[in-house]
Structure 1
Amino acid sequence: MYVMTIDQRGSSTDIDRVPEFLEGLKPFSSARFERSVGDEVQGVLDEPAAVVDVALHALRSGLWYVGIGVGPVNLPSPASPREGSGAAFVAARQAVDRAKAAAGHVPLAVVSGGVQRGLPASAGGVAGNRNAAGRDAGVRACANAEAVLRLIGRLVRERTEAQWRVVDALRAKNERDPGRHGLQKQVARELGISDQSVSRAILRSGWQEEWAARPAAEMLLATAHGLIPDTVSPDASNRGER
Structure 2
Amino acid sequence: MAVLVLTIDQRASRTGPDRVPEALAALAGVPALGGFERTAGDEVQGVLDDPATLPRAVEVLLRAQAWSIGIGVGEVSLPLPDHARAGTGAAYLHAREAVTAAKSSPWHLRVAGEPPAARQLESALWLWAAVLARRTTRGWEVADLVDEGLTYEQVGRRLGISQSAVSQRAQAAGIVEGRRARELVTHLAVGALGQDGTR
TM-score, normalised by the number of residues in structure 2: 0.92
**Other-structure match for 1:2:** 4
Residue 44 of structure 1: SS of its match in structure 2?
strand
SS in structure 1 of the partner of residue 14 of structure 2: helix
User: In structure 2, which of residues 27, 30, 40 is the aligned counterpart of residue 28 of structure 1?
Assistant: 30
Counterpart residue identity of residue 50, structure 2: E
- The question of whether the paired residues in 2 share the 8 Å contact of 1:4 and 1:42 is answered with yes
Q: Please, what is the CA RMSD of the aligned residues?
A: 1.4
Q: Higher relative CO (CA 8 A, sep ≥ 6), structure 1 or 2?
A: 1
2:115 maps to: 139
Unpaired segments ≥5 residues, structure 2:
none
How many positions carry a matched residue from both structures? 192
Q: Report the equivalent of 2:68.
A: 65
Between the aligned residues of both structures, percent identity stands at: 41
Residue deviations 1:180-202 (CA, integer Å, cap 9, x gap) = xxx11101001111211100111
Per-residue deviation, 1:153: 1.1
Secondary structure of 2:79's partner? coil
Q: Which of residues 39, 43, 46 in structure 2 aligns to 1:43?
A: 46
Mapped partners of 2:187, 2:142: distance in 1: 27
**Matched residue SS, 2:107:** coil
Alignment check: 8 A CA contact 1:29 1:54 kept: no
**Counterpart pick for 2:140 among 164, 174, 182:** 164
Choose which of 145, 150, 160 in structure 1 pairs with 2:126: 150
Q: Secondary structure at the match of 1:48?
A: coil
Q: Which of these two proteins has the greater Rg computed from alpha carbons? A: 1
Give structure 1 stretches of 5+ with no counterpart: 113-137, 176-182, 228-242
Letter in 1 for 2:72: G
Conserved? CA contact 2:32–2:46, under 8 Å: no
List aligned pairs for 1:78-117, cutoff 5 A: 78-102=81-105, 105-112=106-113
Q: TM-score, normalised by structure 1?
A: 0.76
Question: Which secondary structure state, in structure 2, belongs to the residue aligned with residue 222 of structure 1?
Answer: helix
Question: C-alpha distance in 2, partners of 1:39/1:96?
Answer: 13
Shift of residue 111 of structure 1? 0.4
Cα drift, residue 213 of structure 1? 2.1
